[in-house]
């Protein structure tokens, strides 16, 4: 299969998106070697966009590069997860603490979108659910005027997506409904409390899984 070029990116970007998705879904395992020739043959393309894609993923930290051995899917660890989620908490808390309150129309739209996300989850459409939930989270954080922090939050999401994918499907439903309720009430304390409670739930589950894998 040849990946299609995205409207705002080249073939290398398209390949990197497909490889990233394969890593997040566990199709490509931590520590697995990413041979440029094999990937090029899989997509029916030259090694030039493959090399570009691997460099992009290495810059994100999803892929590691050894000058002598090539590219590998980055390994996962409890220590890395703790650090990444700590950074996410710091940045996302700051974004939520500075959101501009949305209009009633925007709140209604967010609620409708979350209803659609829940339906995707109930149907077992995990990939669609994750993408839609990601878009909703981004739009909530985008209510803050601190766009530099938002860009950093999005970068960290790319690094933590593959950790969240370790969670059993039944343990991963969205906790953002409480965020929308707090936004509707314009209650900043409730907004931050709901965020941290959901983070506590997800992170404790994830760290327990990582500890079990390393035992």
The tokens of 67 are what? Answer: 């000058």
What sign results for the dihedral spanned by CA atoms 4, 55, 157, 171? Answer: positive
**Per-chain mean pLDDT for the chain:** 86
Buried b (16+ CB within 10 A) or exposed e, 180-198: bebbbeeeeeebbebbeeb
**Structure confidence at residue 127 (pLDDT):** 73
Chain-centre distance of CA 184, in angstroms?
25
* 126-151 tens-digit pLDDT: 778 878 888 999 999 999 999 999 99
pLDDT over 80 (residue 212): yes
Given this model, what pLDDT does residue 169 score? 61
Has domain 78-214 been given CATH number 1.20.120.530?
yes
Residue among 55, 53, 44, 60 nearest 15 (CA): 53
Does 3.60.15.10 match the CATH number of domain 11-73?
no
CA distance 49 to 41: 12
In angstroms, the CA 39 to CA 27 distance is 13
pTM reported for the whole predicted model = 0.77
3-state helix vs strand vs coil in the chain, percent to 5: 70, 5, 25
Q: Where are the domains of the chain?
A: 11-73, 78-214
Beta bridge partners of 65: 71
45-54, 138-147, 170-179, 202-211, range with the lowest pLDDT: 170-179
């Amino acid at each position: 299969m040849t990946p299609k070029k995205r409207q705002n990116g080249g073939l290398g970007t398209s390949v990197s998106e497909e490889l990233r998705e394969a890593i997040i879904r566990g199709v490509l395992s931590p520590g697995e070697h990413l041979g440029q020739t094999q990937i090029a043959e899989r997509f029916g393309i030259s090694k030039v966009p493959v090399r570009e894609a691997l460099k992009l993923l290495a810059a994100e930290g999803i892929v590691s590069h050894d000058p002598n051995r090539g590219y590998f899917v980055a390994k996962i660890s409890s220590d890395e997860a703790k650090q990444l989620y700590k950074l996410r908490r710091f940045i996302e808390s700051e974004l939520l603490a500075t959101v501009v309150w949305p209009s009633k129309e925007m709140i209604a739209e967010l609620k409708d979108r979350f209803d659609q996300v829940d339906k995707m989850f109930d149907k077992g459409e995990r990939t669609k659910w994750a993408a839609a939930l990601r878009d909703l989270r981004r739009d909530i954080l985008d209510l803050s005027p601190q766009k530099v922090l938002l860009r950093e939050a999005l970068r960290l999401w790319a690094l933590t997506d593959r950790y969240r994918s370790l969670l059993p499907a039944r343990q991963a439903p969205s906790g953002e409904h409480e965020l929308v309720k707090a936004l509707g009430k314009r209650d900043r304390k409730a907004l931050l409390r709901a965020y941290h409670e959901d983070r506590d739930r997800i992170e404790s589950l994830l760290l327990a899984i990582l500890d079990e894998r390393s035992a």
